[in-house]
Chain A
Amino acid sequence: MKEALERTGNRASLTAEYTLGHAPSLQHRDREPPPDPSYFGLPAIKKPDWTWFVPAYFFVGGTASGAYITAALADILGRRTDRPYVAAGRFIALLGVLASLPLLVADLGRPERFLNMLRVFKPRSMMSTGSWALTAFGGFAGLAVGVELLRALGNRWPVLRALVWPLRVLSWFGVLPAMYVGSYTGVLLSATNVPLWAGNRFLMGPLFFSSAMSCGLAATSLVARLIGPRSPSGERRFALAEQRVLTTELAITAASALTLRGLARPLLIGRWSRLYQLGSLGAGLLVPLLLERLGRRGGFWSAVSSVLALIGGASTRFAVTEAGKESADDPHAYFSYTRP
């Protein structure tokens, strides 16, 4: 430790060493070890040429899964006044799945072959299991909206009411594929060689799932306010759930930073770092949690928090995906990830 302090000179650069992987101190430049060798600094791995469709899908699909889980929980545990939340969550889930499909298909090099995704089932391919889970989740999302429609039509044709209960119970099982859809995108990114993603293999899935859950809760609360009568109790309880999820997400983010250390560099100083810091950390996590701390809760303020959580969720997907491409281009990051 004494040696580390001596080497880095002061506390500030010690922090920098722990976060960046090296101490950018000019006065000690001569004592710095030479950089790891690489082949002309050229990338040692290739990055996927995914367009913005892919992070957009991560956001939309995640929000859909979070909304589905929110609706199912509100359906099972909620009160009579939570009905607008159930309906909102179910519709958001189906719309999210429907919006996901064109985003995913359009990004393929051969879009007309998208059904080849369901040609085989491979447990060792996250892209394969994810495609199957999304298919199953799409079915459940359709079923849940079907329950909503049956309920509405039941007023006119009472015969249909008999169908509502069994289908409603069946729709609760959709929570499992929804959880998979919300988290697999993070695991998919981590099951590669990209240092920023793979270096955080334990927490990429949890990070994406907590973000999916906060976005789902936020979107459901916002839409429920638009379509239903005002319910102060509902607003309070859903806002509380959102706060808890955001707190978890903050903890996972902090743990990820400690895991990644120097590999997190693209999120600290890269081209996408500003979006990550302002959008994901600031707007998405710190401001909503701060508003709660300051007692700005309920009514208008919880709507503001929900909008911010959605902005944060979108920023996280875009920043993490794009910064991953930067980290793939950095041979030193890859060699430090694959150091024996």
Chain B
Amino acid sequence: MTAHEAFPRDQHPSGEQYTAGYPFYDSFEPASPHTLIDRESELTSGFRVDPGQPYGFFTDTTLCIGCKACEVACKQWNSLPADNVDFLGTSYDNTRSLGATTWRHVKFVEQTPVADGENGDPRWLFLSDICKHCENAGCLEACPTGAITRTEFGTVVIQQDICNGCQYCVPACPYGVITSDKEGGGTAHKCTLCYDRLKGGLEPACAKACPTDSIQFGPLEELRARAQTRVEALRQRGFSEARLYGDPDGLGATHGVQSLHSFFLLMDQPNVYGLPSAPKLPSRNIVPGLVASFATGAFLVGATALALLGRK
């Protein structure tokens, strides 16, 4: 009996039929026969995956070699199509941006410093971009249907069977991550931080595939400590430009975003990587807007009332 016969694609080992779409909507037992190694994450990342505490990614861009294994692993595990394959003229980046079917995107920054009219040594900056799984997520707050939720691993996931494709989450993301696929199923998509894999005790696909450990997966607290050590080590070695992006209330997590569960170590200012330095949580604009609106409303209703009461 082949493995396929033993576990047909559309059938859970319990005999339950999978619902259409993403497999993680059914009850997926951590130690189901699908999990080849029980709690595999402990072997690959060094951390056990237990619900109830926040997990995230620390993407150390100084270790990235731009191999795009994370992009491929993500597409493969999540069954995402290869799309818009073309030469774009933007360095080795032929992906262009995160999208509905691209949840990891490696950015290639080429820099040639100019000093005294002479070109200095060029350098590469790579950054494997991904959903930041914000502590206060603009998309989650904007979603009118409750389709976007916070999971038991502290991550932000879109429930595909509830999203109705209103697209309000799209401009609410300060990092341009979440995207609606109008041509496809009509709903919004983004990285799930491999919710299904976490449930099965596995490390997320991109982190597992990363050959240089530029993408590190683990509990948030320990990742932050690790990142702090790394930044200090780099600074001691003379890389004073090393900085963290997404630390609590720090660079990249300002104005209500609080912190990023998927954070980065950058070697230049965030704009160079296409990231905002001081993002703003969109919901903070609601109260001032409504107060001003109702003041204007009262004023205009009064002005209209006076005009209608006029003697003429």
Residues 184-213 of A at the B interface (beta carbon under 8 Å): 184, 186-188, 190-194, 198, 201-206, 208-210, 213
Interface size class of A (residues with CB under 8 A): 35 or more
> Bound state CA distance, A70 and B187, in angstroms?
39
Interface: B194 (CB within 8 A): no
A sample of 26 inter-chain contacts (CB < 8 A) reads A37-B272, A39-B107, A40-B90, A42-B97, A43-B97, A44-B176, A77-B309, A109-B180, A109-B186, A110-B164, A113-B163, A120-B144, A120-B146, A124-B141, A125-B143, A179-B297, A193-B282, A204-B289, A205-B293, A206-B293, A210-B300, A233-B312, A236-B312, A237-B307, A237-B312, A245-B304
A131 to B292, CA, bound (A): 20
Q: Are B145 and A338 in contact, with the CB atoms below 8 A?
A: no
Known: A194-B171, A334-B276. A244 touches B307 (CB 8 A): yes
A48's contact among B96, B168, B177, B290, by CB below 8 Å, is which? B168
Render A209-236 as a binary contact track against B, CB cut-off 8 A, 1 for contact.
1100100010000000000000001001
* Given A49-B180, A201-B288, A237-B308; A127-B166 close (CB under 8 Å): yes
**Cα A127 to Cα B213 with chains together (Å):** 40
Chain B 157-173 interface mask (CB, 8 Å, partner A; 1/0): 00000111111101111
Picked from B180, B280, B305, the residue with its CB within 8 Å of the CB of A198 is B280
Chain B residues packing against A (C-beta within 8 Å): 90-91, 93, 96-97, 107, 109, 138, 141-147, 162-168, 170-182, 185-188, 251, 254, 268-269, 271-280, 282-283, 285-286, 288-290, 292-297, 299-301, 303-305, 307-310, 312
4 closest A-B pairs by beta carbon, nearest first, are: A109-B165, A109-B186, A39-B274, A205-B293
Instruction: Flag if A125 contacts B289 (CB, 8 Å).
Output: no
Contact B170 A183, beta carbon cutoff 8 Å:
no
CA distance A240 to B301 in the complex (A): 13
Contact indicator A248/B174 (Cβ below 8 Å):
no
For residues 241 through 297 of chain A, which have their beta carbon under 8 Å from a beta carbon of chain B? 241, 244-245, 248, 252
What string of 1s and 0s marks CB contacts (under 8 Å) between A44-63 and chain B?
11111110000000000000
Residues in A with CB closer than 8 Å to B305 are 73, 77
Contacting pair A45 B174 (CB below 8 A) = yes
> In the complex the two chains form, is A125's CB within 8 Å of B274's CB?
no
Q: Smallest distance from the beta carbon of A76 to chain B beta carbons, Å?
A: 8
Question: Which residues on the B side are within 8 Å of A10 (C-beta)?
Answer: none
In the assembled complex, how far is the CB of residue A52 from the closest CB belonging to chain B, in whole angstroms?
14
Residue of B285, B300, B307 near A201 (CB, 8 A) is B285
Give which listed residue, B96, B170, B175, B299, contacts A42 with CB less than 8 A.
B96
Kindly provide the distance from the CB of B269 to the nearest chain A CB, expressed in whole angstroms: 7
CB-CB < 8 A to A191: which residues of B?
A: 142, 172, 282-283, 285-286, 289
| Min distance, Cβ A299 to any Cβ of chain B, angstroms | 14
1/0 per residue, CB under 8 A from B, across A321-340: the answer is: 00000001001001101111
Q: Please report A residues at the B interface, Cβ cutoff 8 Å.
A: 36-40, 42-50, 69-70, 73-74, 77-78, 82, 107-111, 113-114, 116-117, 119-120, 122, 124-128, 131, 175, 179, 182-184, 186-188, 190-194, 198, 201-206, 208-210, 213, 217, 233, 236-238, 240-241, 244-245, 248, 252, 328, 331, 334-335, 337-340
Q: How far is the CB of B291 from chain A (nearest CB, A)?
A: 9
Tell me whether A47 and B296 are in contact (CB under 8 A): no
CB–CB A48/B145 < 8 A:
no
Q: In the complex, A111 Cα to B185 Cα: how many Å?
A: 11
Min Cβ gap A67→B in Å is: 12
CA distance A82 to B163 in the complex (A): 46
B301: chain A residues within 8 A (beta carbon) = 69, 73, 175, 179
Do A116 and B145 have beta carbons less than 8 Å apart? yes
